[in-house]
Structure 1
Amino acid sequence: PPEQVPELVYEQSRLKTGRLTALCTGLGAVAAGARPAQVDAMLAFGEQVGIALQMLDDLTALLVPARQNKAGEDLLSGRPTWAWALAAQGCAAERYRALARYARVAVRRGQWQAAARVLRGVIEQPGCRPAHQALAAAAEQVRGQFPAGPGLADLLHDLAWLERAYD
């Protein structure tokens, strides 16, 4: 059902990309000799960043012309992506169901580009804003946990670089 799609996509992203990113940031904190509370903060930060990067990956697959083959992969495999989550949040339930039916039929006919075009039209308004907001929230959270200094500045610089890589 449309009302369950956003939570499904969130959990999928959290468990897939979020937890892997958390593992990386947590191990980095441990290797740097961080205290347990700092390791926990880096785990939470990594999870948030992973979810937000998955959002960017899913959304730019539809919105950035150079990445649209990725949208084709997602549509052909029937993956629940952030584009579907935004569509479920932004459409009335019946419109969402009609969109999903149209996409299934178009994909079966080998016309995933048509399905991508229609889905892109539905999500263009929010675009990548939810992903950028999630990354900004993760940056704010980590700023509040660690003192200003070169290490934090480097982390935030790298985060901004990752975000720009999806443009």
Structure 2
Amino acid sequence: MLRARLLRLAESEHVLLFTMHHIVSDGWSTGVLVRELAACYTAALRNEPVALPPLAVQYADYTLWQRDWLAGAELERQTQYWRNQLAELAPLDLPTDRPRPAQISGRGATLPFAVSPELYERLNALAQREGVTPFMLLLAVFQTLLARLSGQSEVAVGSPIANRTHAQIEPLIGLFVNTLVLRA
């Protein structure tokens, strides 16, 4: 689930590589790991004891909270909420450059691109004028593009969220991420 490798580039130059499976970490966890490693490394350089604060809870505590919370009536309430929110939402039907196969493979592709510094600044300025974050602005643009391309009046996009809703779980390493459906 976690692999580490120390690469020696020169006598006093090293790179520490970490590979973590997504089932044991999320983007937030990377920040936690880097901060704690930096604190440990600094303490080792100064020949001081490591002074990481004790954790109030463990990941296992979170999983038990989740299991207890999403049981019985609460699970049904949450499920019904999302059924209502997504009711009558048609699947996105985008035009393609060739017919879709009967059996969809799930294979995809990437199209890398760069945004010029000028466009980046203009987007940030527009977001500030409108009182939204750059993410919100680009999400609205993306959803508008999908609506125009598909001819549909409503589209839904899934967006990952940190899902760290309690201060006690903020310093934990683990997979807390969830996907939030944003319907517009």
TM tier relative to shorter chain: under 0.3
TM-score, normalised via structure 2 length: 0.22
Tell which structure's C-alpha radius of gyration is larger: 2
Between Structure 1 and Structure 2, which shows a larger proportion of strand residues? 2
